[in-house]
Amino acid sequence: MDLYRRLWRTSSVPFVFFLGFVLIFGTRVQAWSKEGHIMTCQIAQDLLEPEAAHAVRMLLPDYVDGNLSALCVWPDQIRHWYKYRWTSSLHFIDTPDETCNFDYIRDCHDPHGKKNMCVAGAIQNFTTQLSHYREGTSDRRYNMTEALLFLSHFMGDIHQPMHVGFTSDAGGNSIELRWFRHKSNLHHVWDREIILTAAKDFYGKDMSLLQQDIEGNFTDGIWHDDVASWKDCNDIFTCVNKWAVESINIACKWGYKGVESGVTLDDDYFNSRLPIVMKRIAQGGVRLAMILNWVFGEPVEDTIAAT
C-alpha cells in the first residue's frame, strides 16, 4: 500500500499504472451493473429487522447516512487496486465449458488454484467474519465494514447468472454481439443491458420505480408464494452451493442458449430474459437480508456461520 501510494504521487506513474490496469484487466469486466447492485442492496436493506438495521448503520461510514446501497459498488471500484487485487477472483465462478453444473471443490478457486477464492467462497468468508460482530470481540484481523460491503456486493454477483459461466469465454465476456443497435457482449447484456432497456421502456428510466415494482412482486405479487422457498437452505455452505447451481443452470438455459459471437439480440431475447433478471435481483436482495438478519439478529443459533 505504501509503495503504491508513493508511486502514485510521482508524476506520470499513475497514468502508466492506469493504462496497465486497463490492459491487464480490461477483458474481464464488472458485475451486475451499478443499477443491479444498488437495487439488490436497497431491497435487502428494506427487509432488515431492527438489530440488523442498526448494525448496518453502525458499520457504514457516516457520509452515506445509513444508505447501504450507496456503497454496494465499492468492491468493483477497488478490485484492481494493488491492495485489493486478491479480491478480483471473488466476483465470479468459472465452470468447465459446456458442463452446466457447479462443483465447489472443482470450481471454487482463483486462476492459480487457490482454494475458496471465488464468489461462493467469498460469501462464506464474509458471512463468517460478520457473525463475530455480535460477540463484540472486534477481531482486529478483519475490517467489519469491508466485510459488509463485500458480502453485499457478492450476494448480487452470485445471482447474476453469467457470473457462474464457462471458463473459455469468461462468463460470456468474450462473446461479442449486438444489443439492438449497439455493440455489447453476452456478459454485459446480463449485467446491465437488460436492466437499462427495461428501465427505459417501462419505467421512464426511473430505477426507483423499477425497484418498487420488484418489491411489489415479492410482497404480494407474482413471487409472493415463492419467497419462502428462496430462503430455503440451512447453513451458508449449502446456501451458496444452491445459489451458484441456480445461476449456472440459468446461464445455460437462458444465457448461452442460441447465442454465439456476432449475433444481434433484441426483442425476443429481451422479453424472455427480463423476468429472469428481475427475479435474480429480487432473490439476491431477499437472501442478502436473510444473511444480515442471521448474523446481526438475536443470538439464537450458531449453525449459520459454521463453515
Ligand X SMILES: *[C@@H]1O[C@H](CO)[C@@H](O)[C@H](O)[C@H]1NC(C)=O
- Residues of this chain that bind ligand X (CB under 6 A): 38, 67, 69-70, 86, 90, 116-117, 121-122, 125, 142-143, 145-146, 213-214, 217, 221-222, 278
Closer residue to ligand X (CB): 69 or 283: 69
The C-alpha atoms of residue 71 and residue 61 are separated, in whole angstroms, by 9
Closer residue to ligand X (CB): 188 or 279: 279
Closer residue to ligand X (CB): 47 or 175: 47
Q: How far is the CB of 291 from ligand X (least distance, A)?
A: 15
Q: How far is the CB of 175 from ligand X (least distance, A)?
A: 26
Q: How far is the CB of 116 from ligand X (least distance, A)?
A: 4
Closer residue to ligand X (CB): 175 or 218: 218
Q: How far is the CB of 244 from ligand X (least distance, A)?
A: 14
Instruction: Transcribe the chain into DSSP letters.
Output: -HHHHHHHHSTTHHHHHHHHHHHHHTTS--SS-HHHHHHHHHHHHHT--HHHHHHHHHHS-GGGTT-GGGGTTHHHHHTTSGGGGGGGGGG-EEE-TTT----HHHH-B-TT--BT-SHHHHHHHHHHHHHTTTTT---TTS-HHHHHHHHHHHHHHHHSGGGEEETTTTTTTT-EEEETTEEEEHHHIIIIIHHHHHHHHHSTT-HHHHHHHHHHHHHSSTTGGGHHHHT--SSHHHHHHHHHHHHHHHIIIIIITT--TT-EE-HHHHHHHHHHHHHHHHHHHHHHHHHHHHHHS----STTT--
Q: How far is the CB of 261 from ligand X (least distance, A)?
A: 30
Closer residue to ligand X (CB): 88 or 185: 88
Closer residue to ligand X (CB): 42 or 247: 42
Q: How far is the CB of 38 from ligand X (least distance, A)?
A: 5
Closer residue to ligand X (CB): 154 or 185: 154
Number of Cα atoms under 13 Å in the Cβ half of residue 300: 5
Q: How far is the CB of 214 from ligand X (least distance, A)?
A: 5
Q: Is the dihedral of CA 213, 276, 247, 96 positive or negative?
A: negative
